[in-house]
Structure 1
C-alpha cells in the first residue's frame, strides 16, 4: 500500500460572501472564517426514503482509475528589497531586517524568486487524455503534473480556461488509452439522491466520500452559477474533483465549501455537469468560450414594478438599457420585459442570462417581449459576449447644486449644460438629479441615493420637475399605487418602483 502523499500546500476558491476569502496563499491554508447560524423547521407529513446503498465499493472500483491528483508549480516573485510587504512601521519590518531572514548570505544579499506548489483534483473525460479541473487549481501555474490512481505521473498542458464557471481543461499524452468517465445529466439529479465525491483532500491522496444532494440551483457569485449542494465531505484539495451519481457518471465538479473552520461541515458546492460539459466542449474546440450576447442591461421584475407597469405577474427580465448591439438593431427597447427567448420561457434575469449564453453566436433567435402590455416578437442575431465585454462605464454622476423640488421623498434638480460637462455626460443626456432624500423614505430603502440620475418616470422620459410631477399625477389618476422610475448611477441603469400615495 502506498503511503498517502502529504500536500505542501492547498488552496480553495475565493468565495466573497459564501466563505469570505480571497485565494488562500500558496504555502498555507490561509482561509478567513465565516460563522454560520442555522434555523431548523419541523416538516409535517409522511416521508418516503430509499434504503442507503449497502456499499460504495463497487462504484469506487468503477471510477477511481479516472480520478487524478493535480500538482502545480509556480514561480513566486521575491519580496522587494528582501523584505515582505508589511505595513509601514510594523515591528516585523525591523525583525526581518535585523535577522535577514528573506535574503541570502546571512540576509545581506537580495532574496531570490522561489517555487511554490499547490494541489487539487480532476478527472479524465476521454481516452486520449483530456482532463477537467477547476480554473483556480491551475491558475498562474508554470508546470502542471497529473498523478493517476495507479501512481503513474504525466505532465499536462493547458487547453483553455473559463474563470466565469471556474473550469479548466487540460491534456496529457499517454502511450496507452486512459480510463475515463462520462458526464451525466445534472438536471435529472434530485434533492436526496446519493452521490459520491472523489479527489485529493488536504493532499492526503485519493479519497472517496459519500452523501446526498442537499439542494439544487445554488448561486454563489457568478453570472452562470448553477451549483449542486451536497453533504458529501469536500475539503481543500478536492477542488476540481468529480461528484458522481450512483451510475458512475459525473453530475458535478467539486468547487467550493462553506465552513467556519476551513474543513468540511457538510456544505459543499459542485458546478452542475450540464454547465460544465458545454464549457468543456467549447474549450476543446476553440480553446476558449464563445457565449451568445444579446446586448441589454436587465433586472428582475418585482411585484411593485409589475403593478406599476400593469403586468399580470412579476416575471420576465426587465430591460433597463439597450446600448448599441444586437438587441438595439433588432428593435428591442428599454422598458420591454423579455418573457421568451429562443422558444424557452424567461421567468427571471437568471433564466435569460443562461439561455443567451448557451445560444450559438451569429444565429438568429426569436425574442418575445411585453411592450405596453402586449407581446411583441423580434428576431435578434446574437453577438459574442467575450468580444463585447470590457467597455468602460461613463463617469460617475455627482450631485449638483441647482434649482430643486421635493417629491416622493426626493429632492430633485434638473440637468444643465454646465452640469453635463462637469459630470462627463453627453449634451443629449436628459433627466433629473437626486440632490438629497429622506433616509426614512421608501426611495432610500430601495437603494436610491444622492447623485442618482432619473431619466424616466412612468416609462416616459423626464427632464423637468414639472414633467416629473405630471407623471406622478398620471399614475395616481390611473389608479396606480406605484410609479416606475429609470435610475442611472455611474452610467448603469436600473428600474425602481416608488409608491405615489
Structure 2
C-alpha cells in the first residue's frame, strides 16, 4: 500500500514537472537561425584631456596601461597637457540587408575614428557610418560584403506585456551571448529619450549588449537593446529597447535624405495628476497638459491654448505626456494631425499642421525658450517675459513672468512648475524678468518666502525657504 502511494506521488510530481517544463520556451532554433546576423562592434576613439594647455612630462614606457591615469594625476598634474591617445569600446549590432547594412546604437559609434565589425565566422570588416540619430540612439553602418545573413524585422506594436523575448549580444566582450526574459512594459518614456517609446524588459542586458537585437518568439527583431537602469553599472532587471519601427524610420530617412527630420507641435507639456484632473473636471488623470504654447509654432496657429489637455493624437489615445512626443515626432512634416483636447471640461477636436522640429533645439516639443529667457538663478528656475499672445491666453493683462524650466532644488520642492506665471514674491509685484532677477537676489536666507503664481488661470500661494 505504501509503495503504491509512493509511486503515485512520484508519478504526480513527475507529470507536473514535465507539464511545467513543456510550457517553458525553447530558444535553441531561434539562436541557430539568427545568431549569424548578430555582430560584435569595436570602435576606436581619440581621447584628449580637456585641460591640455601646456607641456607635459612624458609617461615612461614601462608604466602599465592600468597605471597611466594614476601617473597623469600625480606626475603631470592638473592643467598640464597630455598626448591624445586611442581608446576602445565594444558594442553589438545586427545585419538588416544582405549587401551589408547593419544597425547599432548611436552611443556605440559616436566620435569613432574607426569601426570594426566582427562576424560570427570570425571575419572582421571595417564599417562606414552612413548616419546616426542621437535623439533615438540609432546608427546605420555599412560594410563592404555580399550575401550576408540577415535578421527578419518584426512588429513591436504587436508585443504584449508578459511575452517572452530574447537578446543576443556581446556583454563585457563575450561574443554571441544569449539572454532571455519577458516584456515588462511598453511605451516607457525616459528622461533622455523624448522620441522613443521604449520597450522595458527584464532580459539581462549589460555593457556591450548595446546595439544588439531583441527578438520575439517568432524570431523577428522587435527592438534594439539600448539602455539599462542600474546603480552598479550592471544588470538589475530593468532593460530598455528601442522599438524596431522607430529605428527603421530613422534608417529610411538617413538613406533617402541623409538626415533625420521630426514633426513639431510647438508646446510644452506635463502630466496630469489627480489634483489637476479634479480641477479640470476630469474623471481620472490622463492626457498631456499644455503648459506653454510656443509663439508662432504649429500649436498656436491651430488655436491650442495653455491649459488644454491633449487626450488623443491622430486617433491614438494619450494616457501620459510621455506618449505624445514620439507620436508627433514620426508624423510627416506639413501633414495635418487631428488632436482631441479637453478645454474647460469639454472635449474639442482641433486640426494642427505639423511643423519641422527646430534643429537647434531637439527638446523643443517639451521645452522651447524664448529670446527673453533668463539664466538659471538661485531658485533653480528659468523665467521669460510674457508675450502679448501669452498674456491674452492666460488672461494676464500686465505683470508676471512665465516659468519655462524648473531644475531640482528649492522651487521644485515648493511645487513651482513649468507654465506657472509668477505674479508676486512676498509683497513685491513682479513686472518682468529683470524685476524678477532683482527681487530674488535680495531674498533673505532661511526665511519662508511666499510666492503668488497663476496656474491654469487660478491664483495660488506657495512657499519656499532659501538655504544659506
The gaps in structure 2 that reach 5 residues or longer are: 1-18, 59-69, 363-367, 392-397, 403-410, 425-429, 432-451, 463-468
Partners of 2:99 and 2:238 lie apart in 1 by: 34
1:31-430 aligned within 5 A = 51-53=22-24, 55-77=26-48, 79-80=52-53, 81-82=55-56, 95-97=74-76, 111-174=82-145, 176-221=146-191, 222-323=193-294, 324-387=296-359, 389=361, 392-393=369-370, 394-396=373-375, 425=385, 430=398
Q: Which has the higher helix share?
A: 2
- Which protein has greater RCO, CA pairs closer than 8 Å, 6+ apart? 1
* Contact 1:195–1:232, Cα closer than 8 Å, also in 2: yes
Q: Which residue of 2 aligns with 1:480?
A: none
Q: Secondary structure at the match of 1:169?
A: strand
Say if 1:346 and 1:268 are closer, same or farther in 2 by CA, change over 3 A: closer
> In the superposition, relative to structure 1, how do residues 118 and 320 fare at CA in structure 2: closer, same or farther (>3 Å)?
same
Q: CA offset at residue 141 of structure 1?
A: 0.4
| Deviates most, 114-123 or 52-61 | 52-61
CA shift, 1:207, in A, is: 2.0
1:431 equivalent in alignment to 2:410: no
**Number of aligned positions between the proteins:** 375
What is aligned with 1:407?
none
Structure-1 separation of matches of 2:45 and 2:251: 24
The equivalent position to 2:422 in structure 1, one of 451, 454, 464, is 454
Q: Distance in 1 between matches of 2:211 and 2:38?
A: 10
Contact 1:308 1:497 in 2 (8 A): no
Distance 2:232 2:103 in 1: 28
Change (3 A) 1:432 1:399: farther
Q: Distance in 1 between matches of 2:256 and 2:41?
A: 23
Aligned CA distance change for structure 1 residues 60 and 92 (closer, same or farther; 3 Å): closer
Q: Deviations over 1:16-43 (max 9, x none)?
A: xxxxxxxxxxxxxxxxxxxxxxxxxxxx
TM-score (norm 1): 0.65
Residues 352-372 of structure 1 deviation map (CA, whole Å, 9 limit, x = unaligned): 222211211111122232233
C-alpha RMSD over aligned residues = 3.8
Structure 1 pair 355/486, CA: closer, same or farther in 2 (3 Å)?
farther
The Cα shift of 1:148 comes to: 0.9
| 1:93/1:234 CA distance change after superposition, 3 Å | closer
Q: CA deviation at 1:295?
A: 0.9
- Give the distance between the partners of 2:39 and 2:73, measured in 1 at CA: 45
- Residue 82 of structure 1 aligns to a residue whose secondary structure is coil
Distance 1:162 1:306, change over 3 A: same
Q: Report if the CA contact (8 A) 1:321-1:334 is conserved.
A: yes
